[in-house]
A and B are shown apart, each in its own frame.
Chain A
């Protein structure tokens, strides 16, 4: 039987919460320790929330920042995430 409380914690969009309950926390720490560019991207991505989808005041600069933080091939969060899942 899975732990009910643990399962409930997965019902979130928050990356830092999901990280805490995954096995990826140490891997993230190892990467941020040595890679300032990646650290900036991780912090940037953690600023996203599901409510951001309805924010009409997001500027193009902010949108491009978020896209780069997620998808940059060398320093992006998503390429890194794919190495640990």
Chain B
């Protein structure tokens, strides 16, 4: 149970698989993805799939969202547990991405690292599932 009595939304195995499949697909399509992770947003009790791409800075977030939308369309049911509405595109230099990068460093592959109840430089990370944090 969450502190305010609301049952915490769970990150399901289907969501975890879908996020990995989408990240792989973005790689295959040549989108530079420096970080990708599910992050629990306690304020709204929902999970967000955060994609950090340098193209968000160079071409704007809408161009990156367009490419993600295309990838999701192609993947169909394989990625249905990672709906477009749950995805947030950020720049790699975003504070959250930099913070996670100081605590967890991965290569350019796709891992599955659970990161829960941790404080990084004074910032509390409730729950995250990290596929990539390559900086």
Contact = CB atoms under 8 A, between A and B. Distances in A.
Nearest to B57: A59
Contact of B65 (A12, A16, A40): A40
16 contacts: A16-B44, A17-B43, A32-B84, A39-B69, A40-B66, A43-B84, A43-B89, A46-B88, A47-B61, A47-B89, A59-B60, A61-B59, A62-B57, A65-B61, A65-B62, A68-B62
Q: Which has the most chain A C-beta neighbours within 10 Å: B43, B46, B61, B89?
A: B61
Contacts of A64: 60
Interface in B35-71: 43-44, 46, 56-62, 65-66, 69
Interface string A39-79: 11111101100000000010101101100110000000000
Interface of B: 43-44, 46, 56-62, 65-66, 69, 84-85, 87-90, 93
A38 B93 CA distance: 26
B90 to A, nearest CB: 7
Contacts of A32: 84-85
Q: Interface size class for chain A?
A: 20 to 34
For the residues of A in contact with B, the DSSP-based class is helix
Nearest to A69: B62
Given A62-B61, A69-B62, A20 B69 contact: no
B125 to A, nearest CB: 17
Contact of B43 (A14, A39, A44, A47): A14
Nearest to B41: A16
Given A42-B85, A43-B88, 16 more contacts: A17-B44, A39-B85, A40-B66, A43-B61, A43-B87, A44-B62, A44-B65, A44-B89, A46-B88, A47-B88, A47-B89, A62-B56, A62-B60, A64-B60, A65-B60, A69-B62
A65 B84 CA distance: 18
Contacts of A65: 60-62
